[in-house]
Amino acid sequence: MSTFQAPKGTYDLLPPRSATFLAVREAISAPLRNSGYGYVETPGFENVELFSRGVGESTDIVSKEMYTLTTKGGDQLALRPEGTASVLRAALQGNLHKLGGLPVKLWYSGSYYRYERAQAGRYRHFSQVGAEAIGAEDPALDAELIILADQAYRSLGLRNFRILLNSLGDKECRPVYREALQAFLRGLDLDEDTVRRAEINPLRVLDDKRESVQKQLVGAPMLRDYLCDACKTYHEEVRALVTAAGVVFEDDEKLVRGLDYYTRTTFEFVHDGLGSQSAVGGGGRYDGLSEMIGGPALPSVGWALGVDRTVLALEAEGVALDIPAATSVFAVALGAAKPVLFGLVTELRRAGVAADISYGGKGLKGAMKDANRSGARFALVAGDRDLEEGVVQLKDMQSGEQTPVALADVVDAVRAKLA
Ligand code: ATP
Ligand code: MG
């Protein structure tokens, strides 16, 4: 194995593509920042029980995908596989829910780790931007989050995504459904693993992607027919509010999602250009999670959007984000002009102009190549003779036109040209 090889299932973000990742994180978080969500940052690892209790022992995330480690002090930790449990833990620990004014609305952006079968769109280290609205049961909140995710994707220029929506019921109606489904699943011809899953978390069997399983699920009892009146009314209100906002969605009765903590509203954003790793984001209501991790009752809703897959979706749709060149002005210094131009570049930077300079003592040709590569609109070129005259040459990199500018006027002249 080469020393220069990143671990399996991981990749580096390098320029220029890395700029797209920053822009995507920015675009996804902008609607949240504009809607009362405050920024939260939690550690990259947590005590392992947070996830085993919160996300659920029977989920793939906890049973197969979690990176766990024992510290030298004997603590059992896990690299975070998802954001919701950590954010809720942080809100509880920081007593944000007691400061008055529920819901507590938070957004986050960061790295997540899952030991998965690495393939296109499925990595062992990936990045999400997420939002959580903690401590309120209100269909408008579920609708708000769906609408904001739609706004985020649209602001990026994505078009070929679909929103799948379902209700998973609550602690009144889901247990009744669960039993009915279990009775049905017991009559099927399933492998050992799936039989076990049917006993621990039967809803997740509905999510099984295998044809052999899906075939047998025809005629399975559907949750829709078991929803209690409160859940039905709640779901209708969410649907009505999302529809009124002009956001189109599809009802998907089979959408269960892989986490144990979801109740009522559950949704997923899928993109049709991504092959089998089609989910670009997902979320839902998790009214019981706070109690599961030892907190008070705090009905909540949230989502997480995958940054990696969003970038792949943009590439699949051929959407190029409008990312301005990193450098506006590039200085090319010859001979004794280097310290003078270096000083000008510093001044430009302090004045807010993106500026860079050629390093390494290159000649005119090499330094001009650097200027071209930087994508700068203008070059500042100066040699000994320019300095004697007290000027630098301001070169328009598009037209090639070059004008001498007095040293004292450079910053103003550049700013005027860029304005
Ligand atoms: P999938 O069904 O594809 O495994 P998931 O249900 O496990 O997705 P969530 O836990 O809901 O995914 O995470 C939200 C989003 O994070 C996903 O929609 C996806 O865009 C992204 N995501 C999840 N796991 C990965 C991964 N291993 N690599 C890249 N992105 C991921
Ligand atoms: Mg998964």
pLDDT above 90: residue 73: yes
Strand partners, 196: none
What spacing in Å lies between the alpha carbon of 260 and ligand 2's midpoint? 13
- Within the chain, all domains assigned CATH 3.40.50.800 are found at 329-418
**Mean per-residue pLDDT, 312-316:** 97
Statement: residue 137 has pLDDT above 70: yes
pLDDT tens by residue, 344-390: 999 999 999 999 999 998 999 999 999 999 999 999 999 999 999 99
* Ligand whose nearest atom lies closest to the CA of 119: 1
Domain span(s) for CATH 3.30.930.10 in the chain: 17-173+227-317
Q: Is 126 in the pocket of ligand 1 (CB under 6 A)?
A: yes
The 10 Å Cβ neighbour count of residue 302 is 25
Most ligand 1 atoms within 8 A of CB, residue of 11, 116, 128, 311 to mutate: 128
Q: What are the contacts of 234-240 at 24+ separation with CB within 8 A? A: 234/139, 234/167, 234/264, 234/265, 235/139, 235/167, 235/264, 235/265, 237/139, 237/140, 237/143, 238/139, 238/142, 238/143, 238/146, 238/165, 238/265, 239/165
DSSP for 76-112, please give it.
EEEE-S-SHHHHHHHHHHTTGGGSSSSPEEEEEEEEE
Can you give the pLDDT at residue 184? 95
Tell me which residue of 261, 306, 202, 204 sits closest to 52, measured CA to CA. 261
Residue bearing the CA closest to ligand 1, atom 18: 281
In the three-class reduction of DSSP (H, G, I as helix; E, B as strand; rest coil), residue 33 is classed as helix
pLDDT, tens digit, for every residue of 206-236?
A: 888 899 999 999 999 999 999 999 999 999 9
119's CB contacts (< 8 A; 6+ apart) are 277
What distance in Å separates the CA atoms of residue 71 and residue 59, rounded to the nearest whole number?
24
Tens digits of per-residue pLDDT, 236-274? 999 999 999 999 999 998 898 766 678 999 999 999 999
Q: Is the CB of 277 under 6 A from ligand 1?
A: yes
* Of the options 3.30.1650.10, 3.30.930.10, 3.10.110.10, 3.40.50.970, the CATH number for the domain spanning 17-173+227-317: 3.30.930.10
Whether the CB-CB separation of 132 and 84 falls below 8 Å is answered with: yes
* pLDDT higher than 70, residue 1: no
Q: Which atom of ligand 1 sits closest to the CA of residue 257?
A: 6
pLDDT digits 0-9 by tens, 329-346: 999 999 899 999 999 999
Cα gap 388→174, rounded to integer Å: 84
Predicted confidence at residue 260, as pLDDT, reads 67
pLDDT in tens, 38-59: 999 999 999 999 999 988 887 8
Residue 81 is encoded by which pair of tokens? 């596989």
User: Closest by alpha carbon to 280, among 290, 288, 292, 270?
Assistant: 270
Give, for ligand 1, the residue of 277, 286, 305, 310 to mutate: max count of ligand atoms closer than 8 Å to Cβ.
277
Q: Which residue lies with its CA nearest to atom 23 of ligand 1?
A: 306
- Looking at the domain 329-418, which fold is it? Rossmann fold (3.40.50)
Please report, as a single letter, which amino acid is at residue 180: A
User: How far does the centroid of ligand 1 lie from the alpha carbon of residue 281, in Å?
Assistant: 7
**Please, which residues have CB within 8 angstroms of residue 358's CB and are 6 or more apart in sequence?**
330, 331, 332, 333, 366, 367, 370, 371
pLDDT tens digits, 180-213: 999 999 999 999 989 988 988 888 898 888 999 9
Ligand 1 centroid from CA 79, angstroms: 16
Supply the Cα-derived Rg of the chain in whole angstroms.
27
Question: Measured from the CB, is residue 55 less than 6 Å from ligand 1?
Answer: no
